[in-house]
């Protein structure tokens, strides 16, 4: 791997919070205020994937944090809010006498519902969106395995990640052309297809690592991001949007820390940063209200307001306190082990 003098080594950047905020805003637009011709929900998810790959690549291949620390951070960040959401919805369904599908609960709880989505169109629980979180969890495991192998000199991380990115790209093309008559959910959302965005972002990170990148012009950055969005247009063949379009997102997020100040200032706007801060809890809690809009005719404006409110409440009441508490306990435990 290249020298550690790379500008790719970053700590916290407000503009990356804003990128996450833009992702959740576009996801909400796609779900509650759909725009004809383009699925902004998919755009938002792929923006999330590209950012996730960039950040996880930083932790595992640039900063090379211990694998145990990597998993502890992921667990404290994701598991409490995820489990609480699933248990809350399940208990609510039982108490109110609604139909409960235990297999949908189990597959969402253990991050496998992108392989076992239930009967499409007849799902009972509002857990369908966990498919994207499942893709992320599977990718974290695979990335950590590559990191372990790389640190033990068993393989070259750059070539391994690039190879996996190409494999996932080929899997996307294969799925599209061999299952063109199958429902979108069942043929498109498996991890070996959807993880392309995460791994392409890590690929760019490793390719750029140790290279002094010239600051891109603002117009160049806007063109890359805008072209990525336009390639999600419904008439664009799915393999093209899922490779070139998502690949442009991966390139853009890798360029964002070196982007002109004007671009970083836009992504650092407080409303976007705050939406980014709350994004995980909002992502979890928007799904029941999204289904109410499409199945029960709830107003989109009311539904999105309730979704954001529940997400913010979940962040401050559970997600953030649980993360801080778990990290504090594990930090004390690690300190004791070292003493």
CA distances from 250 to 65, 229, 336 (A): 22, 12, 40
The reply to whether 41 falls in a domain is yes
- Determine the pLDDT at residue 5: 39
Give the containing element (helix H, strand E) for 184: helix 184-188
- Determine the pLDDT at residue 123: 84
Q: Residue 35: what are its φ and ψ, rounded to 5°? A: -105, 125
Q: How far apart are CA 150 and CA 225, in angstroms?
A: 31
The reply to whether 5 falls in a domain is no
The reply to whether 66 falls in a domain is yes
The reply to whether 125 falls in a domain is yes
Give every CB contact of residue 175 below 8 A, 6+ residues apart in sequence.
Answer: 187, 188, 190, 193
Q: How far apart are CA 69 and CA 292, in angstroms?
A: 39
- Determine the pLDDT at residue 214: 77
The reply to whether 264 falls in a domain is yes
Parent domain of 67: 14-338
The reply to whether 4 falls in a domain is no
Q: How far apart are CA 79 and CA 126, in angstroms?
A: 18
| pTM to 2 decimal places | 0.93
- Determine the pLDDT at residue 237: 86
Q: How far apart are CA 238 and CA 174, in angstroms?
A: 11
- Determine the pLDDT at residue 118: 76
From first to last of its 339 residues, the chain has per-residue pLDDT tens of 333 334 455 567 899 999 999 999 999 999 999 999 999 999 999 999 999 999 999 999 999 999 999 999 999 999 999 999 999 999 999 999 999 999 999 999 999 999 988 776 678 999 999 999 999 999 999 999 999 999 999 999 999 999 999 999 998 888 877 766 555 555 578 899 999 999 999 999 999 987 777 788 999 999 999 999 999 998 998 888 989 999 999 999 999 999 999 999 999 999 999 999 999 999 999 999 999 998 889 999 999 999 999 999 999 999 999 999 999 999 876 655 555
Count of domains for the chain: 1
Do residues 304 and 49 lie in contact, with contact meaning Cβ atoms separated by under 8 Å? no
The reply to whether 320 falls in a domain is yes
- Determine the pLDDT at residue 6: 46
The reply to whether 6 falls in a domain is no
Closest CA to 85 of 105, 112, 107: 105
H-assigned helices in 33-156: 40-57, 67-95, 102-109, 130-151
Return the structure tokens found at 18.
């804003």
């Amino acid at each position: 791997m290249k020298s550690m003098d790379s500008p790719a080594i970053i700590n916290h950047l407000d503009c990356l919070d804003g990128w996450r905020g833009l992702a959740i805003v576009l996801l909400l637009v796609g779900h509650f205020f759909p725009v004809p011709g383009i699925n902004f929900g998919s755009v938002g998810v792929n923006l999330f994937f590209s950012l996730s790959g960039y950040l996880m690549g930083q932790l595992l291949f640039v900063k090379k944090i211990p694998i145990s620390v990597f998993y502890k951070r992921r667990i404290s960040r994701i598991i409490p809010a995820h489990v609480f959401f699933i248990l809350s919805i399940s208990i609510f369904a039982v108490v109110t006498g609604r139909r409960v599908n235990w297999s949908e609960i189990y597959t969402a709880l253990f991050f496998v519902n992108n392989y076992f989505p239930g009967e499409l169109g007849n799902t009972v629980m509002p857990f369908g969106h966990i498919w994207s979180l499942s893709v992320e969890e599977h990718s974290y495991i695979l990335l950590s395995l590559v990191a372990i192998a790389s640190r033990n000199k068993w393989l070259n991380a750059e070539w391994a990640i690039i190879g996996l990115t190409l494999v996932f790209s080929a899997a996307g093309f294969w799925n599209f052309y061999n299952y063109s008559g199958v429902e979108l959910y069942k043929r498109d959302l498996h991890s070996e297809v959807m993880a392309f965005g995460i791994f392409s972002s890590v690929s760019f990170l490793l390719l750029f690592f140790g290279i002094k990148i010239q600051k891109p012009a603002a117009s160049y950055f806007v063109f890359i991001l805008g072209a990525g969005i336009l390639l999600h247009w419904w008439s664009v063949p799915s393999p093209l949007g899922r490779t070139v379009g998502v690949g442009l997102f991966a390139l853009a997020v890798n360029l964002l820390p070196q982007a002109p100040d004007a671009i970083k200032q836009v992504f650092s706007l407080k409303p976007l940063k705050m939406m980014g801060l709350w994004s995980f809890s909002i992502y979890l809690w928007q799904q029941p209200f999204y289904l109410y809009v499409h199945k029960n005719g709830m107003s989109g404006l009311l539904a999105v307001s309730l979704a954001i409110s529940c997400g913010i409440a979940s962040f401050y009441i559970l997600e953030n306190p649980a993360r801080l508490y778990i990290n504090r306990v594990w930090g004390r435990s690690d300190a004791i082990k070292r003493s």
